[in-house]
Amino acid sequence: MEKFIIEGGHTLRGNVTVSGNKNEALPAIAACILTEEPVILRNVPRIGDVEILLDIMRHLGATVDELSRNDLRICCRDVKPTAIDPEKSATLRAAILLAGPLLARFGYVKLPPPGGDVIGRRRLDPHFFAFKEMGAQVEVNKHFSISATHLTGRDIFLDEPSVTGTENALMAATLAKGTTILRNAACEPHVSGLVRMLAAMGAEISGIGTNQLTITGVQSLHGADHTIGADFMEVGSYIVLAAVTHSEITINHVNPEDLIVINTTFSRLGIRYEIDDNSVVVPANQKLEVVPDFAGDIPKIDDGPWPAFPTDLMSISIVAATQANGAVLFFEKMYDGRMFFTDYLIGMGARIVLCDPHRAVVVGPSQLYGAQLHSPDIRAGMALIIASLCAKGESIIYNVRQIDRGYENLDQKLQQLGAHIQRIGEC
């Protein structure tokens, strides 16, 4: 097991370049199954989740060639719908994304239950409902068995705007007979990235960036050259890191349009930054102040499907609030296990009242102190790193492989900014 040893209290400075969006790269890799021709994917983050999915793809028969560290050529000509390793699937939520393309191309898929972060109940019903609406038979027991003689386009209303549910239905619909309309579809930037990739492969899709996608099925798709967009979750993480350590950091390779909803929430915590072309500049020595509601009430920060504030930045925003003057209520609407990491922050000296699994009140600023910590999931792990870097003293964070699943070369990037962080391997 590896761990991070972090000495906090140091000011950081410099430039950092964000990696490709994890949540776009994973469905893009799965979508390569839809064609027998090679697909080139650029700016692929080489993180834990991506490596696991690539291993599964190779096991299915795909050929994966490295054109460079972050550019891959994937050919699925010889892919077969064989059994998927349940151990690998148990560590990867995105394994479910193989269902749509395998079903569309072969008419059958058998998957073990996917795993991933333990942040509460994560329904798969929207996936199965969409497949059944298109004519598939779904059996759920120890494995998920999905089969269809052929898929037929339908008018489908998803009972929740699930990102992976939308992506699975979208990929299945590209080769279905007729027209599929996906209503209440997820419209996050990474979903739009997948739509652009599928369109480059020959899919007929309209409604990109909206919650209604219309897909006219085609007989076959072809190869394409697609670049994964920047990871705006990583951008948000570095913005908060700079703010709470009173550091000046420039973040490169940014899509400014992805930051609109982030800016609205971060500004309520007093966080300021400037956008210069495709870079974000966070000025040093910010005085973080919680902005109350117009009536003087304690403000509420909540999350939701895009264009609401993304749930993946809630943990990091809570750390920011521990360093801001004032009180704020956080309302995590999507997952009933994400808030439990706040026990670690309380142990570091934060003033937080966990009202219930979904709500927490944070009163700041609080001096944080180093502690021994354990990363429970990707985003909470990054939040604990940020807390440790602004704390007094030394922190040790265990289970850092969880963080590696979502952040590429994180310790090296932080070291380049002047952070005192070391990765230590253990037997």
> In whole angstroms, what is the distance from residue 2 CA to residue 395 CA?
14
Q: What integer is the mean pLDDT of 93-110?
A: 92
Residue 113 has pLDDT above 90, yes or no: no
Give tens-digit pLDDT for 332-386: 998 888 899 999 999 999 999 999 999 999 999 999 999 999 999 999 999 999 9
The percentage of the chain sitting over the pLDDT mark of 90, rounded to a whole number, equals 85
> What is the assigned CATH class of domain 22-227?
alpha beta
C-alpha to C-alpha distances, 206 to 161, 175, 213, nearest whole angstrom: 17, 15, 6
Sheet architecture: strand order including 39-42: 63-66, 72-75, 39-42, 225-227
Confidence (pLDDT) at 118: 43
- State the pLDDT confidence band at 195, using cuts at 50, 70 and 90: very high
What global pTM score does this model have? 0.94
For residue 349, what are the contacts with CB-CB under 8 A and spacing of at least 6? 366, 367, 368, 369, 391
Q: Answer yes or no: is pLDDT of 175 > 70.
A: yes
Grade residue 119 by pLDDT with cuts at 50, 70 and 90: very low
Centre a 10 Å sphere on the Cβ of residue 95 and count the other Cβ atoms it contains. Answer: 26
Domain with CATH 3.65.10.10 in the chain: 2-19+230-425, 22-227
pLDDT in tens, 23-42: 999 999 999 999 999 999 99
Kindly report the average pLDDT of the chain as a whole number: 93
CB contact set of 189 (below 8 Å; sequence gap of 6+): 21, 24, 229, 232, 255, 257, 258, 306
Decide if pLDDT at 155 tops 50: yes
Nearest by Cα to 177 from 136, 144, 207 = 136
Assigned superfamily of 2-19+230-425: Enolpyruvate transferase domain (3.65.10.10)
- In this prediction, residue 426 has a pLDDT band, given cuts at 50, 70 and 90, of low
Q: Using 50, 70 and 90 to split pLDDT, how confident is the model at 115?
A: low
Q: Are 37 and 223 in contact (CB under 8 A)?
A: yes
Q: Which of 65, 71, 85, 117 is catalytic?
A: 117
Q: Is the pLDDT of residue 161 over 90?
A: yes
Asked if 269 and 300 touch (Cβ cutoff 8 Å), the reply is no
Q: In 160-238, at which residue ranges do the beta strands (DSSP E only) sit?
A: 179-183, 204-206, 212-216, 225-227
> Which whole number is the average pLDDT over 94-99?
91
Q: Has 71 been annotated as catalytic?
A: no
Ranges 126-140, 325-339, 408-422, most confident: 408-422
What pLDDT band is residue 414 in, cutting at 50, 70 and 90?
Answer: very high
Q: Strand order in 326-331's β-sheet?
A: 300-302, 326-331, 359-364, 351-356
Q: What is residue 120's predicted lDDT score, i.e. its pLDDT?
A: 42
The mean pLDDT value for 408-420 works out to 97
Across the range 14-20, mean pLDDT stands at: 97
Vertex 47, ends 41 and 51: CA angle to 5°? 70
Task: Give the residue-averaged pLDDT of 150-158.
Answer: 96
- Tell me what pLDDT residue 122 has: 58
